[in-house]
Structure 1
Amino acid sequence: MTRPLRDVPARADLLLAALAEALEGTGPAVGPGIGPVADEVALVVRTSGSTGEPRGVLLSATALRASGAATADRLSGAGQWLLALPLQHVAGLQVLVRSVLAGTRPVVVPDGPFRAPAFVETTALLGSGPRYTSLVPTQLVRLLEDPDGTAALRTFDAVLVGGAATGAGVLDRARAAGVAVVTTYGMSETCGGCVYDGVPLAGVDVRIDDAGRVLLAGPVLAEGYADGVEEPFVHVDGRRWMRTSDLGTWTDGRLTVLGRADDVLVSGGTKVSPQAVEAALEPLGEAVVVGLPDDEWGQVVVAVVVPRPGAAPTLADARAAVTAHLGAAHAPRHLVVTDSLPLRGPGKIDRQAATELARRSIERNHT
């Protein structure tokens, strides 16, 4: 049996009502116009397309309910949410789903570029019960740089941060300021975040395969894709898992994500993790690390950095910071300073665009 698919309304209040009906099974599933879907599907989410063409991920009401219940169980129970993320992606949609399941009405940050004053104003509209919000790292950094934004963050029982890796320095700043920040790891295929602060939510299991890839299983897994392709879902020991594109370690019940497998650079025979180098560069500012072809090194490591206010980092600074943490073989051989990093999806770095930015900048400086 199939059910019709209702296109995603542009307004949060209309989408909230549509999701409530879809979760109850009294209305059609919600998602982009791809045609009818199976009865169990309540929501179709487009992937961000950061690793290829966007795909429609089929999420069942059962999976969404399991995710919502596990989130409330891990936090301070059901509460009211502040929506500060776009509704095209799973993190924003999950704010609405959790609100439906909690029986609360979310407060929505107005559309437009994310700015601290709007966040502060809408935070003031929340009630007195448990209060939650979900952010990407860039939003968290902007709020921490604003005294009123930081004060607003402190009023939340939990501030979920995901969509991209969050630097340890940013997390330390947030926690030192009294912000109850919680890192999340997941993707559209797992109903969003399913590992909080390295620990899986109830019912979620993690394992690492022989290639170092992170595998996830549990009731939060998607039914599959609208195009019918089963990959990257695999069956291991009689159980269905999602084989992610991320490398990780699993130690004492805690997951550490090392970065995407296809992001690893090989420079002079050394495997370089861009995420590790980016973490080492954090004192200099917001950074993305990419590789460019090089006759001598195979790939040359390039750091693209948005400096902290008032800072003017040099290549020597960048190399020293990375060498101290990872060794000289991992240090960048070029530094590109820019005003902002190219993004795609909910706060995710567009590495392809960053690579092109680095290439053009280096070519200009060498002509």
Structure 2
Amino acid sequence: MTPKIREVWLDGSPEGVCELTDALRHALAGGQPVLPLNAKDPGAKALRDAMAPDQPVEPDTAVIIATSGSTGAPKGVLLSAEALLASANATYEAIGPHGPWLLATPPHYIGGLQVITRSIVAGLEPILHDGDFASGAEKMDGDAFYTALVPTQLVDVLDKGGPALEALKTFEKIIIGGAPLHPEVRERATRAGLGVVGAYGMSETASGCFYDGRPLHCVGFEFGDNQRIRISGDTLAHGYRLQPELTAECFADGWFETSDRGRIDEDGRLEVLGRVDDMINTGGVKVPATAVERVLISQFGVKDACVVGVPHHRWGETVVAVIVADGEPSIEWLRAAVRKAAGPAAVPKRFEFVDELPLRGPGKIDRAAVLRSLLSSGK
């Protein structure tokens, strides 16, 4: 008999995390598959319905990570116990001995869920972050303990300093995922004495599968057309919930086709260049949005940035930068920095300043929502 999916609705409370931990522990041992959901998300019911929890679950599924993705279309990533455990065990091999974890990111996303998995592998309960890293560190016990953050959390701690920063210095390693760890932020963290590790991965790879540009021992990779990153190995999901055509398109012959472009840098590490579909075609010149964002974020006074291509009758698309600023950075200075680093075609034709950027997950900017906002405002 095919086991029914167990829904776990998470509201940020310790009780919800305990329920998910118990459900995940059973799923990893071959029990009922788990579907974690965010009780605070107005769209969660529609996402849950799209996962059809009353229908038979695909074989070998321990967890379904439900996501609306970058396009807004719901999909459920099917992860086996073997994939989740392979990722957790390879993580320990890469960063240090078994130890307790502070859960500081939402557990209905793969990054938070894997913090719980790693805790289970270590025979421990995850420690729930209550907004105070200092009190969280006091609850940790052992020679080595860990946490996983998104870059914005790290930047907030670096900016504020104080007890939170001192507490994070006591962690053996701090995995930074969900979005790129920019070199300037890494340098600040290293100078502050933090043991940060930049992770690249996704739900389909059971969380980070590259640490600091190096693949985990059970992960293989290659580059396909247009420098598209392809990944193989034990941490791979086995498809998408009730979407056999999408599964066949993305998973074939033991390989997963990511949506990201990459290359190997001079140190032999993977450098992620951005999404394949984030290329802006302006006047016949292709501009990688991520490359422009990387330049802008490295400039004084820029806390975050999103670069999009806005339709234009003459150029096809124009480059527009939407920025979260700390103070009033000089637009001419920003343009000069982009021109020098990425060429004249990459220079944004327009800058918009906002208080915050929309997110589609922890640390992930919703580029489509930024573009929709620009188009709806007539800008």
Q: What CA distance in whole angstroms lies between the structure 1 residues aligned with 2:67 and 2:125?
A: 26
Q: What CA distance in whole angstroms lies between the structure 1 residues aligned with 2:235 and 2:264?
A: 20
Preserved CA contact (<8 Å) 1:304 1:358: no
Q: What CA distance in whole angstroms lies between the structure 2 residues aligned with 1:120 and 1:342?
A: 29
Q: What CA distance in whole angstroms lies between the structure 2 residues aligned with 1:277 and 1:290?
A: 10
Distance 1:232 1:126, change over 3 A: farther
Preserved CA contact (<8 Å) 1:90 1:191: yes
Q: Output one character per residue of 1:18-70: Cα deviation in whole Å (capped at 9) or x when no partner.
A: 11111112x31111552332452111111342234121111111111111110
Q: Which of 158, 175, 184 is matched with 2:199 structurally?
A: 184
The answer for the alignment partner of 2:67 in structure 1 is 47
Q: Output one character per residue of 1:313-357: Cα deviation in whole Å (capped at 9) or x when no partner.
A: 232122012112112221111111111111111221011221233
- Which residues of 2 match residues 134-173 of structure 1 at below 5 A? 134-148=148-162, 149-173=164-188
Q: What is the Cα deviation at residue 231 of structure 1? A: 3.5
Q: What is the Cα deviation at residue 136 of structure 1? A: 1.0
Q: Which of 33, 52, 57 is matched with 2:77 structurally?
A: 57
Q: What CA distance in whole angstroms lies between the structure 2 residues aligned with 1:214 and 1:331?
A: 27
The answer for the alignment partner of 2:18 in structure 1 is 13
- List gaps (5 residues or longer) in structure 2: 11-15, 36-47
Preserved CA contact (<8 Å) 2:71 2:368: no
- Which residues of 2 match residues 215-230 of structure 1 at below 5 A? 215-229=230-244, 230=247
The answer for the alignment partner of 1:240 in structure 2 is 254
Residue type at the aligned position of 1:60 = S
Q: Output one character per residue of 1:278-323: Cα deviation in whole Å (capped at 9) or x when no partner.
A: 1111124111111111223221111111112xx2023212201211
The answer for the alignment partner of 1:326 in structure 2 is 342
The answer for the alignment partner of 1:306 in structure 2 is 324
The answer for the alignment partner of 2:190 in structure 1 is 175
The answer for the alignment partner of 2:135 in structure 1 is 121
* 87-96 or 313-322, larger mean C-alpha shift: 313-322
Q: What CA distance in whole angstroms lies between the structure 2 residues aligned with 1:361 and 1:172?
A: 38
Q: Output one character per residue of 1:67-103: Cα deviation in whole Å (capped at 9) or x when no partner.
A: 1110010011211101011122111111111111111
Q: What is the Cα deviation at residue 188 of structure 1? A: 0.7
Q: What is the Cα deviation at residue 254 of structure 1? A: 2.3
Q: What CA distance in whole angstroms lies between the structure 2 residues aligned with 1:232 and 1:139?
A: 35
The answer for the alignment partner of 2:33 in structure 1 is 29
The answer for the alignment partner of 1:255 in structure 2 is 270
Preserved CA contact (<8 Å) 2:65 2:203: yes
Preserved CA contact (<8 Å) 1:342 1:353: yes
- List gaps (5 residues or longer) in structure 1: none
Q: What is the Cα deviation at residue 146 of structure 1? A: 1.4
* 73-82 or 126-135, larger mean C-alpha shift: 126-135
Tell me the percent identity: 43
Q: What is the Cα deviation at residue 9 of structure 1? A: 4.3
Q: What CA distance in whole angstroms lies between the structure 2 residues aligned with 1:362 and 1:261?
A: 26
2:99 matched to 1:79? yes
Residue type at the aligned position of 2:275 = R
Q: How many residues align?
A: 351
Q: What CA distance in whole angstroms lies between the structure 2 residues aligned with 1:138 and 1:218?
A: 30
Q: What CA distance in whole angstroms lies between the structure 2 residues aligned with 1:48 and 1:84?
A: 22
TM value normalised by structure 2: 0.88
Q: What is the Cα deviation at residue 192 of structure 1? A: 0.9
Q: What CA distance in whole angstroms lies between the structure 2 residues aligned with 1:69 and 1:333?
A: 47
* 320-329 or 43-52, larger mean C-alpha shift: 43-52
Preserved CA contact (<8 Å) 1:206 1:214: yes
Q: What CA distance in whole angstroms lies between the structure 2 residues aligned with 1:18 and 1:307?
A: 42
The answer for the alignment partner of 1:317 in structure 2 is 333
Distance 1:210 1:38, change over 3 A: closer
Q: What CA distance in whole angstroms lies between the structure 2 residues aligned with 1:313 and 1:202?
A: 43
Residue type at the aligned position of 2:123 = G
The answer for the alignment partner of 2:41 in structure 1 is none
3-state SS of 2:167 partner: helix
* 200-209 or 5-14, larger mean C-alpha shift: 5-14
Residue type at the aligned position of 2:280 = L
Preserved CA contact (<8 Å) 2:58 2:241: no
Residue type at the aligned position of 1:131 = F
Q: What is the Cα deviation at residue 198 of structure 1? A: 0.7
Preserved CA contact (<8 Å) 1:163 1:348: yes
The answer for the alignment partner of 1:100 in structure 2 is 120
Q: What is the Cα deviation at residue 359 of structure 1? A: 4.2
